Structures are given as structure tokens and as C-alpha cells.
Amino acid sequence: MRSVLRWACRGEAGDEEAEGQHPAGTGRRRPRVTVELHAHSACSDGSLSPAALVQRAHQNGVKVLALTDHDTMAGVPEAIEAAKQCSIRIIPGVEISAVHSPSDGIGVDEPVHILAYYGSLGPEKSQELDRFLGSIRDGRYTRAKEMLLKLRSLDMPMKLEDVCTIAGDGVAPGRLHVARAMVEAGYVENLRQAFSRYLYDGGPAYAIGSEPTGESVVRLVCRTGGLAVLAHPWALKNPVAVIKDLKAAGLHGIEVYRSDGKLSGLSDLADTYGLLKLGGSDYHGRDEKDEPDVGSVDLPVLAVSGFLDVAQPIWRNATKEILASKTERSPGLNGSKEFQLTSSGKDFCNVCLFSPDLGVTDASEVEVLETEFADIVLS
Ligand SMILES: [Zn+2]
Ligand SMILES: [Zn+2]
């Protein structure tokens, strides 16, 4: 409990500070810390800029926010910068589009979204991840074109440029952007109608992209020092088969909590397969009244501490790899600003460890890291 609070409420006192932070002001006595593990910005299909999202999360009492845009981490630096103003911790994240093909050959392919959570220095082997995400984004243009072709055959002609304008500068178009274009063109009354009539999975205007398999995404997330979590499994036709196959590939957890509470069937599945039970609002800032707000999921402290128990060793290892590859690239660390300010490797470790970006606050953790870094940096 204390470790969760210390992690979440950096720079604050702890228990008392975290109490009663819930925006709804429910007056509950038990200490809670609002952690939001699933939210989108305008860098994918959300409506708020990363900075505005952070601001809104802060207003809602969020202490830790994972930015999980679709197939891009472009908003993370802005979110981290904005978070400095309001002492929110940002988890660099991404929601990766994939497809699951049943391993037994029976059943149908279905889209799956894998959330990836990284440590404060981001992914290791970040170029590999960037290339991977880049090719998924390219595939989204092809997919948008396909959806427009289908809509045209349904007598709803629209231009790709219009969809891209709605998506915004440099943002790969997605289904939501197509839906917005349909509303603007007057083909449907609202987004809900666009989805329920045409764009739902397998719907008449739905197109599956050239997405990678769920397993390959999970393996990539593991390889790049992240935690892989299956997003909204309640939307799957065959959650058991998906969870079983992804677990075999290294999946760490599944979403089980929503704004309306815990889903017991999925919670049981998580227990069966030894997976973390997590969740988030999946906030997009759509102009819909019933959209759960950022920070509205009541993630129990136990779930957060389970998440940290699994995440921290993975993130620590990634941090080590990132720093090691940095030192490899600049022999003698000459290129490093930090190193120029320090006289020894040990000092360099200290600078790295106590840098606000890294966010290591636990003394014993620092000790472990110091020993590990000393091996790398000084050898
Ligand atoms: Zn999703
Ligand atoms: Zn999402």
C-alpha cells in the first residue's frame, strides 16, 4: 500500500494526501490513489491534446496517467512536460492494433488491442518499436481507403482527404475518423449510429487492416521492456481463445475493471491464466454524455500494487539496457551532459537515478540500481 502511494504521489506526503481525492467526492474513507491506465489524446483519435488530457486528468484527481494512443507514442513527451506542472506521473504507453487468428484454425479472425506500458525512460530498442508502429499506421491509410470504398458502394461517397483532415495533421486515420466524416456528410445522425449500422467489427463498411498478430505484438512489447495487457476483452467474440494464445506469447494482464465496476467473468479468466487484473477508462473525449471520464475507473490499490510488482523489475531492466546502450554509443560518456557534470561513474549513476524523469524514490531500489549501473557504467 505504502509503496503504491509513494510511487503514485511523488513529492507528496502519502496516505493523507491520497485520501478523498476522488472527483465524485464519494466520501469513502479508505485511502485510494487514482490511476488511469487507458486514455487517448489527439495524437490518435482522442479530442484533447496530450497537455489538455493531463490537465483534465489532474482536475479529476488522477495521480498516475498512462497515455495509450493507438499505434503511436508521439504524445508522450508533451504529456510528460505538462505533467511536471501538476505532479502527475506519466506512464509512456501505446495501444497497439493487432489481429487474432485462432490457433486451432476454427473460428474467425478478430481485432485485438494490446496495451503496452513502459518505464519512465520509454521502450528499449525504441527504433524497432517505432518501425513496427510506423508500419501499422501506414496500414491504417490502406484500411481507411477500403472502408471508404465499401461506403461508396453503399451510396455514401466520401473523400479520403476529408477523413484525414478530421484525423488531424500526421494522425493516421481510424474508424472513429471515418465515423465523424459520415456524421459531417449527413449519412448518419451520430457516431453511435455510424458504428452500429456500418462500422462495427464485421459490419458492412468494416475493413480489417494489415495488422500484425496479437502474439507478435505481445512478444514485441516484452522484447522492448514493456508490460503487455489485453485491452477491452469484453468486446471479443472468443476471449478464452485469445487470452490463452496471448498468455502463451507472454501477456502480463487483461483489462477487467471499467467505470461500471469489475467484470467477474473476465476476472475469473485472469485468475485461471495467472494474469494481472487491470483497467482504465479508454477516454477519448468524444462528445457523448455517457463516455466514462478520464480517471473514472476505481482501480483497487491491490491491482495497482500487483501491476507494480510485475512492472518494476521489467522497467528497471529496460532502464539498465537503455543506459547501457547510451554509454556504448558514446564511449567515455563524453556526449553525455550529465557525465560532464560529474567526476565519476558512481556520480553518473546518481545523476541518472535521481533524475526526475526516472522517478526512482525507494532507497533500496536505488541501491540495487546503483550496483547494477556501476557494473555497466564502470566496466
Ligand atoms: Zn482499443
Ligand atoms: Zn483505447
Q: What is the mean pLDDT of each run of 10 residues along the chain (379 residues)?
A: 75 43 47 88 95 97 96 96 93 95 77 95 95 92 94 96 89 90 96 94 87 95 98 94 96 96 95 98 87 94 94 94 78 50 47 49 53 45
- Given a contact cutoff of 8 angstroms between Cβ atoms, the answer to whether 7 and 316 are in contact is no
Ligand nearest to the CA of 40: 2
Instruction: Give the ligand with the smallest distance to the CA of 232.
Output: 1
Cα 113 to middle of ligand 1, angstroms: 5
User: What's the 233 CA to ligand 2 centre distance in angstroms?
Assistant: 12
Question: Is residue 108 located within the same domain as residue 225?
Answer: yes
pLDDT for 112 equals 94
Asked whether residue 236 is domain-assigned, the answer is yes
The grid coordinates of residue 38 equal: 487507458
Distance from residue 70's CA to the centre of ligand 1 (Å): 8
Q: Ligand 1 centroid to 94 CA: how many Å?
A: 10
Distance CA 195, CA 28 (A): 38
Q: Are residues 295 and 343 in the same domain?
A: no
Tell me how far the alpha carbon of residue 115 lies from the centroid of ligand 1, in angstroms.
Answer: 8
**Residue 114 within any structural domain of the chain:** yes
Distance 232 CA to ligand 1 centre (A): 7
Residue 353 lies in domain: 330-378
Residues 355 and 259 in one domain: no
Q: Is residue 66 part of a domain?
A: yes
Amino acid at 213: T
**Smallest-distance ligand from the CA of 39:** 2
pLDDT score for 206 = 93
Taking the centre of ligand 2 as the mean of its atom positions, its distance from the CA of residue 285, in whole angstroms, is 11
The greatest distance separating any two alpha carbons of the chain, rounded to the nearest whole angstrom, comes to 71
pLDDT attached to residue 22:
47
DSSP symbol at 9: S
- Identify the domain boundary among 299, 316, 339: 299
Query: Which DSSP letter does residue 172 get?
Result: P
| In-domain check, residue 9 | yes
Please report whether residue 163 resides in a domain.
no
* Ligand 1 centroid distance, CA of 199 (Å): 14
Last residue of a domain, one of 259, 281, 299: 299
Residues 11 and 116 in one domain: yes
State the pLDDT at residue 103. Answer: 75
- The dihedral sign for the CA sequence 245, 299, 304, 69: positive
Residues 108 and 238 in one domain: yes
**Predicted TM-score (pTM) of this structure:** 0.78
- Both 293 and 374 in one domain: the answer is no
Verify that 11 and 84 share a domain, yes or no. yes
| CATH number of 41's domain | 3.20.20.140
Number of structural domains the chain divides into = 2
Contacts of 14-21 with C-beta under 8 Å, sequence gap 24+, read 18/63, 21/61, 21/63
Is the domain of 52 the same as that of 109? yes
E-strand ranges in the chain read 34-39, 62-67, 89-100, 110-117, 227-230, 253-258, 261-262, 276-279
If you measure from the C-alpha of residue 262 to the centroid of ligand 2, how many angstroms do you get, rounded to a whole number? 18
In a domain, 258, yes or no: yes
